[in-house]
Every structure is written in C-alpha cells, then in structure tokens.
Structure 1
Amino acid sequence: MSHAIKETNFQFPAQIDFYKGKVRDVYIFEKELVVVASDRISAFDVVLPRPIPFKGQVLNQIAAKFLEATSDLVPNWVTDTPDPNVTVGKRCEPFKVEMVIRGYLSGHAAREYKAGKRMICGVPMPEGMKENDAFPSPIITPTTKASEGHDEDISKEDILAKGIVSKEDYEVLEKYTRALFQRGQEMAKEKGLILVDTKYEFGKYEGKIYLIDEIHTPDSSRYFYADGYEQNQKEGKAQRQLSKEFVRQWLIKNGFQGKDGQVVPEMTDEIVQSISDRYIELFEKITGENFVKAETDAIETRIEEAIKKYLNEN
C-alpha cells in the first residue's frame, strides 16, 4: 500500500504559528498561510485512526481546479500550489460561519426533515418532500464555525443579531454563495453529475472578502450521478453518490456516529484501500481528468522541500 501522510511537523524561517485542523496542517506567516492537505480523514467531526493514501492530493487538486474556475466570480485566497498536497495563499481573517447551500433535501437536512422538522436554520422546507428531492430553489443553511467539536446550525437572523457577521458583509457572503453554487452545478452537469449541496468559507484580507479553504471537493460537497436520478426518485431508491457519504454509511453500519462511548470500527488495509480508490474515482469523475499519483516514498520530505523552495523564491 502507498504511504500516506498523517501529520506534518515542519519549522520554517519567518513562521509565526501553526494550526492543526481535522485534515489540514496550517503554517502561519505574517501575511500568508501555507496549507498542507494531509491524508487524515474525518467523519462525524472525528478524525479516524488511519490516513487514506492520496486523499490529501485529491482534495488539494480538486480545490485548486475549482478555485481557479470560479475566480472570475469571487476573489479567492490562493497564490500558489507548490506541491500536489500544498496550497499557499493570503492570510485572511475567517468569518466565524460556514455558508452551507443545499439544492436538494439530502444528508443533514433530510435527517431533520425525517424527524418532523420543517424549518432549518430559519429557512422553511416545503411539505410533501421525499429524501433527495430538489428544493424549489437552493436554500442557505449556515453553521457556526467551531474550532473544536461540532458545528451548529444557525439562522441568518441569529448571525446578524449576535453580530457574528455584519449585515453588509453577510449580504456579500450570500451573493457569493449563490453565484459559486450555480457555477458548481453547471460544471457538475457537464460531467454528468448533480452538485447536491456544499459549503463555502470566507475571510477578509486588507478589508476585502475572499473565498478561503477548499471548494466543491468530496469532503465539502455531495454529488449525485445525473444518470438515473429521476428514475431512482420515482422508485424511492437511494441515489448513486459521489461524496464522503460512503465513509459515513460504513461507520453507521458498524455502530459509529461520533457519539460518546462509541468506538471507531477497525480500519483494515482493505477498507483503507477501498476509500483511497473511491477518492481517486471521485477526482476523475468530478474533474474529467486522469489522476496522476504523486511520489509517496518520501512524502514528508517532498512536501517540506517544495514549501522551502517556494519560501526561498518568494
């Protein structure tokens, strides 16, 4: 099995801080961030015990492609991608909300609907919907951005009332979210896919709002195959998905949903390899390109040298 990168612990000149997220290792400089997409995988807000070979590369390269493809709509934080697992960009001050947008009644929204709720984040959901039906028009269902633990649903009204984001900035975030989602859906359609729901994160740099983090990746988005969608809805069958949902379903089937006292099921070599294969399949389907595996024999050294080279040249 190929080597996978679970974490990095580099030290660079002029580095002022370091932050370890669920999946990313972030090296902080005065005006820049150097972000390493590790092969860690999380589900139900828990980082699973084994990393997945090539997962970081998949996420980093999908995000780079979509950030470039949407830069005419929304300015984004990226300045360079010096390695398949690394993105460098502006050190923005993040807004403390994630902008989740849903075109379909799926995932968390479907679970809430099944529990009898007809309101999510202050947004009404129509009666008579089936799981995976399209909403009349996409709905924005923000969450708080938790540094630890679970993100929580929050309404636009609460965001404004608590002063988490100003009214003026929030209107920009909403406008950008809708424009990005529309572009994402158009790009997905070209590949025979449906972009079901996704999330965007934004930040400010020198007073200007930028799109930050990854976009339209299988970790941040849910995709269905367009072929067979209508038929499956008609027959009440599950949709064929391209997302991290298959990992969540495997965990649920094995008695794990991130709740207290639950233990992550054993991740055998076979399971790890199958997840890696699925991520590569996701990359190829979403981008329409062949996935070229980066060298993994000395993956930490490769990444460190690429970052050092970038820092020396800039």
Structure 2
Amino acid sequence: MTGIPEFKFNGQIRHYRGKVRDVYYLENDLLVMVVSDRISAFDVVLPKPIPYKGQVLNQLAAKFLDLTSDIIPNWKLGTPDPSVTIGKLCDPFPVEMVIRGYLAGHAWRVYRDGKREICGVTLPDGLKENDKLPEPIITPTTKAHEGHDEDISREEILEKGLVSESDYRELEKATRALFERGSDHAQKQGLILVDTKYEFGKDKNGTITLIDEIHTPDSSRYFYADGYEERQQKGESQKQLSKEFVRKWLIDNNFQGRDGDRMPEMTPEYIESVSERYIELFEKVSGDQFKRADNENRKQRIEKNVRKWLEENS
C-alpha cells in the first residue's frame, strides 16, 4: 500500500503506508514506525480513526519488546514519541509464527468444520471452542502483502525453502519462549494469553531478530482468567480482550469485507466506545495507567520528537 508520506525526516529514502502503520525508511538501516489511529478488520481499513489506538499499540509493543529482550534481540532502538518506535531495518522472514494455547478463532473454525489437522499439527477429538490445548501449537502463516495470510505447515516451509531448517528451529524456540513469557505476564494481570503471532527477520549482521509488535490486542487474543473454567463448563462465550469486539460489531451489521458489503456508520458514540475499550485493554494487559498524549498537535509533536531522537543518536 502506498500513500503520500505525512513526514519527511532527514535521511529518508522511502515510505510505506500499511493498514495501520506508516513506515519511514532512513539511511543507516533505520526505520521510523508511526502507529496511526487507523483501524482495520477483514483486511479493510475502516473509514474513521480511533483516538489513542496508535498510542495504545505502540506503547504496549514497546513494553513487551523490552520485557523479552533477554530471550531474543529485537528491532527496537527507541520510542521517542507515544505513537512512534524507531528501530533497525531487518530482512523479514516470509512467514509469521502463530502460536496457540487454546482452541479459538481461526483454529476453532477449522476444527468445527471437521478438520483435525492445522498446519501439519494433529488435534485430538472432543475439544470445544476455547478449550485449553494439551500443549501450545505453532500454526505458521505466509505473509501476504495484499489479502489474507494462508496457513502453512513446518514441512511446507522447509520444502519451499522459505526458511532454512536451522533458522526455523531458532524461530520455533523463540516463539515458544516468547509465548511462555507473555503467558506468565498475562497470568499476573488476571488474563490468559490465548494465541498470538510473532514476526522475525535478520539484521544486517545476520542475527535473527524479533520485529514488529508483540502481545498487543491487534496481534493477540486474551481471555479473562476469572470465570474461565465456569464459562467453559456452561458452554458460554469467554470474556476476552482483543480486537474481536470490532469484528463482531461489523458482522452484526452485515459487514465482513465481501464484495457488496456496506460499511456501517461509525457514529461519534461508537468511536468513543472503541477508544475507551482500547485504553481499558492497555491498562489491563500492561498493568500501567494510560496517559493520553496531546493529540491537538499530533503531527508537530511527532515530527519534533523524532527529529530530536535522530539528532541525538546520529
């Protein structure tokens, strides 16, 4: 996806506009990632932004990158602004490492439809939606620049030469360690980390590096631990923290990104409710109080903070 860049930083080479992030490529293998307030679902960017959503995602990702830096190096160099992370450019692996501790979301839909194998992993009979799996499973996907990511097995990844066997072993090891760390943190917050995804690349020295965001509501699914067992026994839906509530609102309003689907109206009241949900999510997941940034002069604020960081770290 391309678009007119909002900023022009010193040493800027090119700009990429994603669904919710704007990435500025600078000299010396630097990336400036500006996390916008845009929101997407069903591979569609919704027509109106959600105040503070970008700040929520950026600050959560920064926190969890710092909390896991002893497990594997990551791309983050600094967060000069509430909505910005600056990091090192890496060559990404063409797969995303999805790991699941519970049978939810896409995995449940595949299971519900009668399949007992997902991404080469066999699942036992008799499971219900949101049941805890015997052990966490890794279900990788291909990384699609446009459209939907596709499930892929470990064997297919190796057969196609997408990742070398030695590198893939490292990715699996890091994925399991990161998920364990994230699960431990979630448990302390009264949450269950249900599933999540990680992206990896190699830096200019060939070191495998964790990239992008981790353990945010846009990349992860959380359940409230309190009442989980009781809800499972009664066959009730789990109380969860994720972007799923936005998808549900769209589905309830007959929108799933299909041809002919009409986007429902995002009223000011609805937008405010989504913003408040994201802030609640931040505080529950992180354990920190959310401090709203001054968004009156957001563009000037970001430009000033990024320029200062670049000058001090050049």
TM over 0.5: yes
Question: Residue by residue, what CA displacement relative to the aligned partner does 1:72-95 show, whole Å, maximum 9, x if unpaired?
Answer: 111111010000000001100111
Contact 1:102 1:197 in 2 (8 A): yes
Write out aligned runs for 1:200-211 (5 A): 200-205=198-203, 206-211=205-210
Following superposition, the deviation at residue 260 of structure 1 comes to 2.0
Match of 1:285 in 2: 284
Structure 1 stretch displaced more, 260-269 or 238-247: 260-269
Q: Determine the structure 2 residue equivalent to 1:19.
A: 16
Cα deviation digits, residues 36-57 of structure 1 (max 9, x gap)? 0100111111111111000000
Q: For the residues of structure 1 that align with 2:168 and 2:124, how far apart are their CA atoms?
A: 25
CA distance in 1, matches of 2:54, 2:223: 22
Asked if structure 1 preserves the Cα contact closer than 8 Å seen for 2:5 and 2:15, the reply is no
Unpaired segments ≥5 residues, structure 2: none
Mapped partners of 2:17, 2:5: distance in 1: 9
Structure 1, unmatched stretches of 5+, are 1-5
Q: Is the 8 A contact 1:39 1:55 kept in 2?
A: yes
Q: Is the 8 A contact 1:77 1:210 kept in 2?
A: yes
CA contact (8 A) 1:96 1:164 kept: yes
* Distance in 1 between residues matched to 2:264 and 2:135, nearest whole Å: 38
Tell me if the contact between 1:79 and 1:89 (Cα under 8 Å) persists in the aligned partners: yes
Alpha-carbon distance in structure 1 between the residues aligned to 2:253 and 2:35 = 27
The residue that corresponds to 2:90 in the other structure is 92
Cα distance in 2, alignment partners of residues 286 and 19 from structure 1: 29
- Is 1:9 aligned with 2:6? yes
**Residue equivalent to 1:195:** 193
Q: Pick one of 181, 184, 200 that aligns with 1:183.
A: 181
**Percent sequence identity over aligned pairs:** 66
Q: Equivalents in 2 of 1:258, 1:102: separation in Å?
A: 25
Structure 1 residues 108 and 288, CA gap change in structure 2 (3 angstroms): same
AA partner of residue 28 (structure 1): Y
User: Aligned match of 2:77 in 60, 74, 79?
Assistant: 79
Distance 1:159 1:10 in 2: 37
Aligned residue number for residue 3 of structure 1: none
1:106 maps to: 104
CA RMSD of aligned residues (A): 1.2
Distance 2:232 2:147 in 1: 34
Superposed structure 1 runs of 4+ greater than 2 Å apart: none
Cα distance in 2, alignment partners of residues 48 and 36 from structure 1: 18
TM-score between the two structures when normalised by the length of structure 1: 0.97
**1:237 is matched by which residue type in structure 2?**
E
Q: Secondary structure at the match of 1:285?
A: helix
Which residue is equivalent to 2:60? 62
Distance 1:165 1:266 in 2: 43
Measure, in 1, the Cα distance between the counterparts of 2:294 and 2:167. Answer: 42
Q: Equivalent residues in 2 for 1:238-257 (5 A)?
A: 238-257=237-256
- What SS class does the counterpart of residue 214 from structure 1 fall into? coil
Q: Secondary structure at the match of 1:16?
A: strand
Q: Distance in 2 between matches of 1:7 and 1:36?
A: 14
Deviations 1:230-281 (A, max 9, x none): 0000000000000001011111111111222212211111111111000000
Amino acid at match of 2:131: D
- Report the TM-score when normalising by structure 2: 0.97
